[in-house]
Each structure stands twice: as C-alpha cells, then as structure tokens.
Amino acid sequence: MAEIVMTNLVKTYPGTKNRATDDISLHVDDGEFLVLVGPSGCGKTTLLRMIAGLESPDVGSVHIGGRDVTDLPARQRDLSMVFQSYAIFPHMRVRQNIAFGLTMRKTPKAEIERRVAEAAEMLHLTDYLDRYPAQLSGGQRQRVAVARAIVVDTGVLLMDEPLSNLDALLRMQFRTELKRIVAKLGTTTVYVTHDQAEALSLGDRVAVMRDGRIAQIGPPLDVYDAPADEFVGGFLGAPPMNFLPAHVDRTGDRVELVLGDQRLPAPDTLGGHAGGTVTVGVRAENVEVADGEAPDRVAARVEVVEPTGSAILLTVDLAGRPVKVQTPPTQRVGAGDTVWLAVDPNRMHFYDPATGAALR
C-alpha cells in the first residue's frame, strides 16, 4: 500500500510573509492519480516537494504507506520523481539513463535489462536505447525521464509539470500515453500542473489550489460541473465559466433572474434569495442559441465569432456584459447579429457576490 497522507502542512519560506502552503491536509489513495492544479505561485510545487522530502514543512506530517516520512530525506522515501527540468545525463546513452535508478539499487543485471526493455517498450523508446540525449527530440528526452522514473517500480510517482517542454500536439499525445502507462502500473501518482485541461484529463481527482490552500478537490467532472466558488469555476474550463450579476425576483411561485431589462427563469431553489442579487455562473456550452424569441429567452448581440473547428465560440453582449457561448460548427451567425439565448436553469450556478462562494 502506498497511500500518501498529508496532515496540516504549513510552509513559509524564510524571508517571505505568506505561507506557501497554508495548513493542507490531503489523502491520496493507493494507486490513485491526483493532480494538483492552480495558478502560478499557489503552492503546488512546494506541496509536491514536501511529499518528496526536498522541502521540510514548518508544521505537519507526511505519511507514505503508513510510515511517517516527515523527517526522512528524499532518498529514503522510496519514490520516483519527474521534474520540469528532466535532468537526464547527457553523457549516458538512453539505456543507461533509464537503468540509472536500478543500477543505484544494485539490481541484478538480467533484471535491469528486462525492466529497461519493458519501460522502453511502454514509452516507444526501444529504437533509441543506444542514442545519447543530444540525439533525441525534446519529446523523446521527456519520455526517457518518465521511463527512468517508472522503471524503478516505487509505489509513489511524483511529477512536476513533466510535459511543459513539449509543443501542444506532443503534449496531448504524451498525456494520453502517460494516462495509459500510469493506469497499467497502478502507481500512486501526484502530478503538478498549471494547465487545467491536463488536470481534467489526467486526474482520478483534481485538487484546485489557491494561495497555499485547496480550494476544491474531487473527480474532475464533479469539480468542473459544480465549482465550489467563482475562483474554481473561472480556473477550470476553457473558456472559463461566465459570471453575471443578476437580481432575483419572485412573482407568485415563479422565480426569475433579472439581467438588465430582461428575465430568465431561475430554479425554485433560488427563491430564498428573492429581492437580492446573486452572481450567475454558466458555462459556454450550457448556453444555447435558440431559434427565435420566447419569454424564457434573452436577447444578446454577437460581438465576436471564433470557429475552433469542432465548435464556434461566440462572444455576445448580454445586458452590457461579455458572455461566451459555445455553439455547434453548423451555427450560422455573424458579428452584429442579435441572437436569442436559452439556459437550462439546472445548468446555472449561483454564487455569493460578496464572497464568491457557491450558494446552497
């Protein structure tokens, strides 16, 4: 069992005011793939380095597989790491680079050969085993770094932005490959990225971090579909969730949102906020361009039309605010057109305008 338990981890770097991690407690299950995601400086790398033993917490503890490793140096924690600056040795061939951890552990030669061949196969490096790093592309070098980490077969794999040096296409291909490999190995993995798409696609769970804390943690689609606050809704998803201030009005048993001089039906659950103002959050793909005027639709003016291939992204002006709308590629609208928009009340999210927290 290689579950990781972090308890109350606090870290402040000398000479800085703010906590890099502010009392973080987290449990990563055995075999789970957890992604730490968040904007630059939110504390992802610091948290990972405390699991690795490359940074010590001021307060708190780290347990790996039931063992308290808080005071153990990195080399005694039995884990593998891949970092952004994937330091592979330039003077060693790919074969020796991949074998490095096994050689250090004095693994028998025949077993080293078998495991290197296996890892090379998994990462499509078999044909490159006799090359030096300088004779490889960036993507191939990155794969060598991953092969070197997984070959050792520790229970825990830590990765910090391992795909950051790849171009967009390679990044996507390698992401798929990595997911397949890690699932096959069943290694407990903690993966740091600032790329929300990578987080959503890779993690069994994602932990969205902000200012040294976990803003929300859960399976990717749960977090995507029900962001706990405006920050998470704005961080996950491309484009980010739309946010609009709206007045809540109740007439009889009908609850409506008032946006400028227009109205949209709201779920009954919002009735408790009647007379007040809320922030409405809605994702671009949950706004529909409807085929004409109706009482439960609002009019908006199209400002920008951006085809993305699989969809068209519209920026419309709704009651003086820009709103992103994702429509099928067959939608024929142009800048300057007026469109009628419909939103399923069940796909709307509501936030407290003062705190940004989701309204329950």
Binding region for ligand ATP (CB under 6 A)? 13, 16, 20, 38, 40-46, 194
Q: Which of 63, 1, 35, 32 is nearest to 186 (CA)?
A: 32
Return the number of the residue (192 or 358) whose C-beta is nearest ligand ATP. 192
Return the number of the residue (44 or 141) whose C-beta is nearest ligand ATP. 44
CA distance 223 to 200: 9
Minimum distance from CB of 17 to ligand ATP (Å)? 10
Minimum distance from CB of 210 to ligand ATP (Å)? 10
Minimum distance from CB of 161 to ligand ATP (Å)? 7
> What are the E-state strand segments in the chain?
4-11, 21-28, 33-37, 59-64, 67-68, 79-82, 156-160, 188-193, 205-210, 213-218, 242-251, 254-259, 262-265, 277-282, 287-290, 298-307, 312-318, 321-327, 338-343, 349-351
> Do you know the residue count of the chain?
360
Q: Find the angle CA(331)-CA(337)-CA(338) to the nearest 5 degrees.
A: 100
Minimum distance from CB of 158 to ligand ATP (Å)? 13
Return the number of the residue (38 or 227) whose C-beta is nearest ligand ATP. 38
Minimum distance from CB of 44 to ligand ATP (Å)? 4
Q: How far lies 213's CA from each of 111, 118, 350, in Å?
A: 43, 39, 22
Return the number of the residue (96 or 142) whose C-beta is nearest ligand ATP. 142
Minimum distance from CB of 37 to ligand ATP (Å)? 9
Return the number of the residue (45 or 242) whose C-beta is nearest ligand ATP. 45
Q: Is the dihedral of CA 75, 76, 77, 80 positive or negative?
A: positive
Return the number of the residue (47 or 146) whose C-beta is nearest ligand ATP. 47
